[in-house]
Chains A and B, each alone.
Chain A
Amino acid sequence: MPLPEPENLSLLATFGPHRAYERDRAQEPGADEHLVKTHCCFCGQQCGIQLKVRGDAVVGFEPWYDFPFNKGKLCPKGIKRYLQNHHPDRLVRAYTKDASAPEGFRALPYAQAIGRVAGEIERIQSTFGKDAFAVLSGASLTTEKTYLMGKFAHMALRTANIDYNGRLCMVSAGAGNKKAFGVDRGANPWDDILGAEVIFIAGANIAECAPITTDYVWQARERGAKVIMVDPRLTPLARTCDLYLPVKPGRDVALFNGIVHLMIANDWIDRAFIDQHTVGFDALAAHVAEWTPARTAEVTGIAEPLIRRAAELWGRAKTSFLMHARGIEHHSHGVQNVLGAINMVLASGRIGREFCGYATITGQANGQGGREHGQKCDQLPGGRDLANPEHRAYIAGVWGITPDELPQPGVDAYEIFRKVDSGEIRGLLSICFNPLVSLPDNNFIRKMLEKLEFFVAIDFFMSETARYADIVLPGSLHEEDEGTVTQVEGRVIKINKAVPCPGEARQDWVIIQDIARALGRERGLTFTSPAAIFDELRVASRGGICDYSAITYDKIDAHYGVFWPCPDTGPDGQPTPDHPGTKRLFEPGSWNPIARGAGPFYFPDGKARFNVSLYSPPREDVDTDFPIILTTGRVVSQFLSGNQTRRIGPLVDHYPEPRVEIHPRLAEHLGVVDGDWVRVSSRRGECTVQASIVRTIRPDTVFIPYHWSGRKSVNQLTIAAQDPISKIPEYKVCAVKLEKSTAPAYQADLEPQQ
C-alpha cells in the first residue's frame, strides 16, 4: 500500500518529530545543579560525558576529561544529546490505536495497556503456537536489558523468534571473527592504534561515524604511521591519507585477496606465526593465486599500482592496525569481506601484540555488549549457542528450568517479517528498533506491520514504526536508567541514571517484567534493579566466551571500565575475583576457555583459522535499466533511524534532509546541477532528493544517507538481499537510475526532519 499523501499531519503535530532547541538560558545555575558521569547514548565509541542536571531535567553537558577513551572529546551528537530530555515529543503515557482520533491514537492507563498486551500475547500463542509471537530488540539497550529481553523471549514467551537490530550492523563482523578467531570482540585497545606503522581502514567513514577515533589515527600519523583507506567516497579522513583506494562498491574481498596474493609472492608474510598459530594457510594461498594484480584491478576498479603500493606498505610493516566497519560488512557477501580482511592480518602475523591490532568499529551504543548475551536468534548468554546441548543445559540451570523448555534457534530480524508475510508470525513486540526506517526495501516492512494481528512497541518517542502499533508503551531514555554497555574496544562501562522517567513512562526492564507478570509468567523475571540483572548475567556468562563473571559495577567505576573476558575462576579452578580484565586478546601464552592453554586463539587447538574468502558480485549489479550503483551510510549529525537525532534542532539544522552525492561527470551526463531535485529509483522504490555535486565519490556510484523516514527514506530503494551466513542486508550496493525532477509535493507540508 502506498504512503498516504500527505502523511497524517495530525499525528505529526501530536507526536512529532519536532525540533528541540537550546534550553532557556535566562535561568541562572541553581544550587541543585549537578553533574552525572555517564556515556553518550549514540555510537559504539561510548565517549565519557558528564550530564548537567537541574532538578529532574538534563539541561546541558560538561566534558569528562578523565575518561581515558575520549578525554573530554565529543562529536556534535553527544554535545546536543541533552536536548532529547524533557522533549515535547516524549511519550509519557501509554497509547492505543484509535481510528476515530485524528492522530490515530488515544492515551490509556499504563496498567490497562499492559493487560491488553498480555491478553494478546496469550491469545496469539495459545491459538497459533509459541513461535507465532516474535520479539525485536536493539543493540542500543544496556547489556542488562538485552539479557532480560533474551530471557523474556526464551523463558517466559518460549518463542524461538527473537532477534535484534545488530542484525543490521555487527553480524558480518561477528560471524567472520568467530570463524577466524573463535571469538567475537575487537581484539585491541585503541591505544594500540597510536604506535602502528600502517593503519588500514576499509569501509569505515571514521570522521563522520566514529569521530573520536580520528585523533587516534592522526596521532599515529604524527609518529610516522602511513594511513591506507579503502572507500568509494573520498571521506574527510581519506582527504589526507597516504594511500586512497577508491574501491568499486561490493568488491572489497577481491582487493584483500589481491593483497594477500602479493604478500605471498613477495614473501611479506610471517611464516613462523602462520606455522605456529594458524591453520588453513595452504588452501588460502591456493585460492588467492588467481587474484593477480591485473585481475584484482579489473574487479575492484582500483588502479594496479595502487594495489601494489598498498600490499607493499602493509606487507613490509613491523606493526599495524586494521579497522573495518559497515562499508565492507553490509553486503550479501559481507562475511567473506571480513574474512578477507582478517586473512591480511593473520598472514602478517601482526596481532596479539602491542601496536598490532584488528577491530571492527561497532555502530550502536552497545554494538558489542548487545550481541553477546542472548537476544540474537541463535544465542544464549555469555556468547553461548542456543543449538549447543551443553550451553542449553548450563543456561537452563542458571534459569531454573529444564533445557527442553528452551526453544530452538529462531530466525533473523528480516526473516521475522517474511514469516509475518507467510502467516507464521501473528504478533510482535519491538523495543529500541525502528525497522520501518532502518530495514531495506521498507515498503515491504510497512505492509507487514499493517498485517500483524497485534503489535506492541516500547519507545520513548513515537517512532515511525511505533505509529503502526496497536499499543505503544512509554519506555525509558538513556539518562533515566542505569546499566552497563560494552564499547568498541571490548571495555565494559557503566551508564548512570541522571533523572527519573516522566509521567507514566517506565524503565524498559520494568515494562518487560510487568508484561511477564500480567501473563502469569513472571518466574525468573522479578528483578528489582539493573544491578540484580547484572549479577545474574555474570553467573550466566561464567565459563562462556564472553565471560563477565568477575566484573562488578564498583570495579568498572574504579578502573574506567573493565575489558572482558574477566573470569572469576582461574584455569586452575581457583577463584579470581580481582581479575583485571583482558585489554588485548590473543597475546602469546594467554588462556581462554576453549583452547585451555593450547594457544591464544579460541579453538580447541588454540590456532586461528585462515578461511578461503570467496568473491562474488553484489546480488543486484547495474544494467541498462538501472545503470548506477547506490550506496548508503550516515552523516555526522544524525544517528541510525533518527528517532532521537531528528528531534534535536541543532543537529537537524546541520544537515536537514537527505541529499544524493553525484560526481560532476555523472551529473553532467544527467543534466543535473548542485541543488537540483533528482528522482532516484530502484526496482523496489524511489525517492526524490536534492543533488550535491562532489568530486569525492566514484562517478559510477551515488550516495544517500539513510536517517530519514517515509518518502525521504533511501531504504525504500535498497535491496533485502542478505549474507547467507550473517543475514546482514546489502545496504551498500543496489542498482538505481537517476532522473532530474522537481520538488516533491509533500515538501510544502513536512518539516525537514518529518
Chain B
Amino acid sequence: MPVPSDLHFYVDPARCIGCNACVQACSECDSHKGQSMIQLDFIDTLRSPQTVPVVCMHCDSPTCAEVCPADAIKRTEDGVVLSARKPRCIACNNCVLACPFGVPKMNTEMGLMMKCDMCYDRTSVGKKPMCASVCPSQALFYGTREEIERLRPASQAVQTFQFGRQTITTRVRMMVPRDAPGQVSVTDGFSDPGIGHEVSDDVYANVSIGSHS
C-alpha cells in the first residue's frame, strides 16, 4: 500500500521546544534498528532556547540520489526517499555533502548512509510517522491539508526552496507566516540575524548581577 497521497508531513519550527521526543521516538520505529534519523538542531544556546527538528524533506528530485555513484538511494513511487541500500552503499559520503538540507548521516559503524524515511514501514500502512505522532508541540505534524489549514490559520505551507540557483521542491512542507513569500530562499536567510536574539539580549537589561556583588 502506498503512503496515502492526501497525507502530508509538515514542519513548523516556531513551535519546537527542543524536548527531544522526536529523536527518542525515531529510534523506536521498528525498521530503524534502534537508530534515530532525526536531528534536533540547537541554533544558539547562548542566546535562545530555539531549536529546530530536521527531518528529510523528501525532495521530488533528491540531490542525495542524484550524486550517488552507486545508485544506492531510491525514491519510492509515492515520493519517499529511503536510506541507502546496504548492498550498494559504498559509504562515500557524497550524499552527506550534497544534500542542501543537511539530512543524510553516515553511520560509520555500519558503513551505511541512514536517513529519515518518513517511517515508511508505518506510513505505507496508513500510520503516522513516530516523530509526528509523539511531538508534544506538534512542530512536526502529519495529516491532511484541510487539517493543517484549519489548525494553523496564521501560517501557510511551503514546499519550494531556493538554494542559490537551485530550486528544490519537496514532499515535506514547511510552515511559514501566512504573509511570507510562497517559497523559502535559504541563501537570503544567511544575512538575517534571526528572530529572538534581540529579545534575549534585552530582556534582563535592567537586572544587575546581584545587589551585593
Contacts and interface: CB of A to CB of B under 8 A. Distances in A.
Contacts of B207: 246, 248, 301, 698-700
Nearest to A49: B134
B33 A25 contact: yes
A17 interface: no
Given A79-B24, A627-B212, A698-B207, A636 B19 contact: yes
A65 B18 CA distance: 22
Interface stretch (B75-83, B95-103, B110-118, B147-155): B147-155
A575 B211 CA distance: 63
Interface in B161-206: 196, 199-201, 203-204, 206
A73 B134 contact: yes
A674 B203 CA distance: 21
A53 interface: no
Interface stretch (B2-10, B45-53, B66-74, B85-93): B45-53
Interface of A is mostly: loop
Most chain B beta carbons < 10 A, residue from A74, A79, A208: A79
Interface string A224-257: 0000000000111101100010101000000000
Interface residues of A, number: 60
Counting contact residues on chain B (CB < 8 A from A), the size range is 35 or more
A22 B20 contact: no
B151 A222 contact: yes
B114 to A, nearest CB: 14
Contacts of A650: 24, 27
Nearest to B200: A695
A53 B47 CA distance: 43
A752 interface: no
Interface centre among B45, B151, B210 (most CB of A within 10 A): B210
B210 A214 contact: no
B160 to A, nearest CB: 24
Interface stretch (A261-269, A439-447, A659-667, A682-690): A659-667
B138 interface: yes
Nearest to B135: A73
A697 to B, nearest CB: 8
A696 B49 contact: yes
A240 B210 contact: no
Contacts of B204: 246, 663, 695, 697-699
A19 to B, nearest CB: 14
B212 A623 contact: yes
Contacts of A236: 17-19, 49, 51
Interface string B111-137: 000000000000000001010011111
Contacts of A65: 128, 133
Contacts, number: 156
B21 interface: yes
Interface string A181-224: 00000000000000000000000000110011011001100110
B208 interface: yes
Interface in A604-649: 622-624, 627-628, 636-637
B49 to A, nearest CB: 4
A237 B17 contact: yes
B105 interface: no
A323 to B, nearest CB: 16
A76 B21 contact: yes
A237 B20 CA distance: 15
A693 interface: yes
A93 interface: no
Given A25-B34, A695-B46, A240 B196 contact: yes
Contacts of B19: 75-76, 207-208, 211, 236, 636
B57 interface: no
Given A72-B128, A627-B213, A239 B48 contact: yes
B25 interface: yes
A499 interface: no
Nearest to B152: A222
Contacts of A697: 204
A215 B49 CA distance: 17
Given A25-B33, A25-B34, A246-B203, A700 B24 contact: no
A235 B203 CA distance: 13
Given A301-B207, A627-B210, A700-B207, A76 B137 contact: no
B212 A239 contact: no
Contacts of B135: 73
A67 interface: no
Interface string A289-332: 00000000000010100000000000000000000000000000
A694 B133 contact: no
Contacts of A637: 20
Nearest to A219: B151
A660 B148 CA distance: 39
A674 B47 CA distance: 13
Most central of B17, B28, B200 by chain A CB within 10 Å: B17
A240 B195 CA distance: 10
25 contacts: A60-B28, A61-B28, A65-B133, A72-B134, A73-B134, A79-B134, A207-B19, A222-B153, A222-B154, A236-B19, A239-B48, A240-B14, A240-B196, A246-B207, A248-B207, A622-B210, A627-B213, A628-B210, A636-B19, A669-B209, A669-B213, A695-B200, A695-B201, A697-B204, A700-B211
Interface of B: 14-15, 17-21, 23-25, 27-28, 30, 33-34, 45-51, 128, 130, 133-138, 151-154, 196, 199-201, 203-204, 206-213
